[in-house]
Structure 1
Amino acid sequence: MKIKKAIIPAAGLGTRFLPATKAMPKEMLPIVDRPTIEYIVKEAVDSGIEDIIIVTGKGKRAIEDHFDYSFELEENLKRKGKYDLLDEIHKSSNVDIHYIRQKEAKGLGHAIWSARKFIGNEPFAVLLGDDIIKNETPCLRQLMDRFDEVEQSVIGVQQVPESETHRYGVISPLTEENKLYQVERFVEKPPQGTAPSNLAIIGRYLLTPQIFDFLAEQQIGAGGEIQLTDAIEKLNKVQKVYAYEFEGKRYDVGEKFDFIKTTVEFALQRDDLRDQLMDYLVELHQKDYRL
């Protein structure tokens, strides 16, 4: 069955980026000149997703405005002949996006469960906004190709340092063929030193609709929240759930320093910014800001 729908959870409070996120959604913080969530939406669209539902919360109206049509802005750009900018904003407005509000911040699992009526009885994708993944073949498209092979849920994973496994959901693999793993167990944020592997779940999921049966239990897990990983572990006991070690560079934009690194790297990849930024970085390197 073709996967046509995707959920993007965007209801978090963004406390790591306070005070900036007091009035601005974390998902709207820009990487150079594009909000983070636009990279996530683009990956979904480039992978062949037709319908996207963004799960929002209080104070997230800016996300809806960003992907909406802005008549006044577009007419202003036309009058000034700024057609290059017009093309850029069209990329973020010509996407069919739906919205639902998560009324309580009960965790990722609850956010996914909130979109169950939109998904219905068909497989679907989940893309988390804290992970931007760059690759010629989009990460989600890679997972969709594996889904076509196994016709079961497929979770995106990458290797992380063992010292960081406690920050992630981690898999315990049974078998592996061409980076596709059959999984024995899924463990959410194992205590340091107890992880069954260094293969961490990285913000991309293809799930069968049976996952909603387990999310409906509203079981409280790590951090006092309803965890998606816990529901996946239960799903794996009744139907196989696979993990795929995808190709691509992952940028973690959920932490301040990683966000800064991502912004610098993305700017260096731009022809219009690279030389100026390189000169500036060399200049900074020659100064001592530790005084």
Structure 2
Amino acid sequence: MPIDIAVVPVAGRGTRLLPLTKSQPKEMLPVGSKPVVQYVVEELARCGIHRLLFVTGPGKTAIENHFDIDSELIDHLRETGKEELLEDLAFEREDLQYFYTRQRRQLGLGHAVLCAEPVVDGQDFVVALGDSIIGLHAQSTVVRTMTELFETAAAAAVIAFEEVPPEEVVHYGIAQPKGRLDDVFELADLIEKPDVREAPSNLAVAARYVFSPAIFDYLRNTEPGKGGEIQLTDAIQALIHDGGRVMGVRLPPHQARFDIGNFESYFQAFIEFAMADPDYGERVKAFTRKLLSGGDEVE
């Protein structure tokens, strides 16, 4: 049976983006012409996901409101002759089902995934971090690649990875491949934030996972770390060490990850998406060139 449910953790407070995130979720920050989490949902829908479970926290009701079908707005646009704007509401798809559960205490990504267990209900499932976009305008099909590999490889988990500069491996979970490192590979281990000199590769976990429900037992048995948090990486390590087959998929160069985790990465993502906008991109590029050259603003 094809995997059709995804868990989208969105409970994080976004403190590295304060004061921008004081009254709005970081997942609702605009990148180009859409909020971050809309790109994530559109990517998942394109890859065959029909049910989405958001693991939320305080101050996240804007996400639920965004994905409601707003009949009053639709009627207003029709009555005022603005039917062309209805295309911008195409994400309000009736064939997608949305579910919401609360992570009542901020105890890490592993705990957020564990909160999804009652809804997942013994099924294989995708995890897609709600603050990370894969591919420019989320035109990524890596989740479909991952779910298909999960089935054909009889895997217990599949993880997306991206290449990072060697000096940045200290910030990520890093793949230790078993055997040859290709675009698809099996993991011998997953090392959390290794020293630069000891890193087994420069492939970092990239915000997309596929799991069997067995991961929940490993999460329950994971010892809390710093701040009492349950780390997903620790549960994956235990799964591998117990003989579970965990596969890795390298993100293609044209499907880079945009992580909306701090101001630098947020600004970079917004600029790149704005420049690629089909309606305004060329003007944004012209304005940017003018600005960088010290010339007058584009009229």
Q: TM-score, normalised by structure 1?
A: 0.93
Cα distance in 1 for residues equivalent to 2:180 and 2:99: 37
Cα distance in 1 for residues equivalent to 2:49 and 2:175: 26
Native 8 Å contact 1:143 1:246 kept in 2: no
Query: Which deviates more, 119-128 or 109-118?
Result: 119-128
Cα distance in 2 for residues equivalent to 1:285 and 1:26: 29
Superposed, which structure 2 residues align to 1:115-130 within 5 Å? 115-130=116-131
User: C-alpha offsets along residues 182-202 of structure 1, whole Å, 9 cap, x if unaligned?
Assistant: 111111222443322111110
Give the structure 2 partner of residue 241 of structure 1: 246
Q: CA deviation at 1:213?
A: 0.3
Give the structure 2 partner of residue 67 of structure 1: 67
Cα distance in 1 for residues equivalent to 2:29 and 2:65: 14
**SS of structure 2 residue aligned to 1:59:** coil
Superposed, which structure 2 residues align to 1:123-272 within 5 Å? 123-134=124-135, 138-152=141-155, 153-176=157-180, 178-221=182-225, 224-238=228-242, 239-247=244-252, 248-272=255-279
Cα distance in 1 for residues equivalent to 2:207 and 2:180: 20
Native 8 Å contact 2:36 2:132 kept in 1: no
Distance 1:136 1:272, change over 3 A: closer
The one-letter amino acid of 1:263's match is F
User: C-alpha offsets along residues 221-274 of structure 1, whole Å, 9 cap, x if unaligned?
Assistant: 356521101001111123111111132222222221121111111111123112
The one-letter amino acid of 1:270's match is D
Distance 1:191 1:220, change over 3 A: farther
**SS of structure 1 residue aligned to 2:198:** coil
Superposed, which structure 2 residues align to 1:32-43 within 5 Å? 32-43=32-43
Give the structure 1 partner of residue 83 of structure 2: 83
**SS of structure 2 residue aligned to 1:230:** helix
Cα distance in 2 for residues equivalent to 1:223 and 1:244: 31
Native 8 Å contact 1:47 1:141 kept in 2: yes
Cα distance in 2 for residues equivalent to 1:12 and 1:209: 23
Cα distance in 2 for residues equivalent to 1:54 and 1:11: 9
The one-letter amino acid of 1:2's match is P
Distance 1:72 1:80, change over 3 A: same
What fraction of aligned residue pairs are identical, expressed as a percent? 37
The one-letter amino acid of 1:261's match is Q
Native 8 Å contact 1:211 1:232 kept in 2: yes
Native 8 Å contact 1:221 1:230 kept in 2: no
Q: CA deviation at 1:31?
A: 0.7
Native 8 Å contact 2:131 2:260 kept in 1: yes
Native 8 Å contact 2:109 2:232 kept in 1: yes
**SS of structure 2 residue aligned to 1:254:** coil
Q: TM-score, normalised by structure 2?
A: 0.91
Cα distance in 2 for residues equivalent to 1:222 and 1:234: 18
Distance 1:44 1:87, change over 3 A: same
The one-letter amino acid of 1:285's match is L
The one-letter amino acid of 2:163's match is Q
Q: CA RMSD in A?
A: 1.8
Unpaired stretches in structure 1, ≥5 consecutive residues? none
Query: Which deviates more, 206-215 or 221-230?
Result: 221-230
Pairs aligned (count): 288
Cα distance in 1 for residues equivalent to 2:194 and 2:273: 32
Give the structure 1 partner of residue 113 of structure 2: 112
Query: Which deviates more, 220-229 or 116-125?
Result: 220-229
**SS of structure 2 residue aligned to 1:172:** strand
User: C-alpha offsets along residues 155-204 of structure 1, whole Å, 9 cap, x if unaligned?
Assistant: 11121111111111111111237522111111122244332211111001
Query: Which deviates more, 158-167 or 177-186?
Result: 177-186
Q: CA deviation at 1:150?
A: 0.4
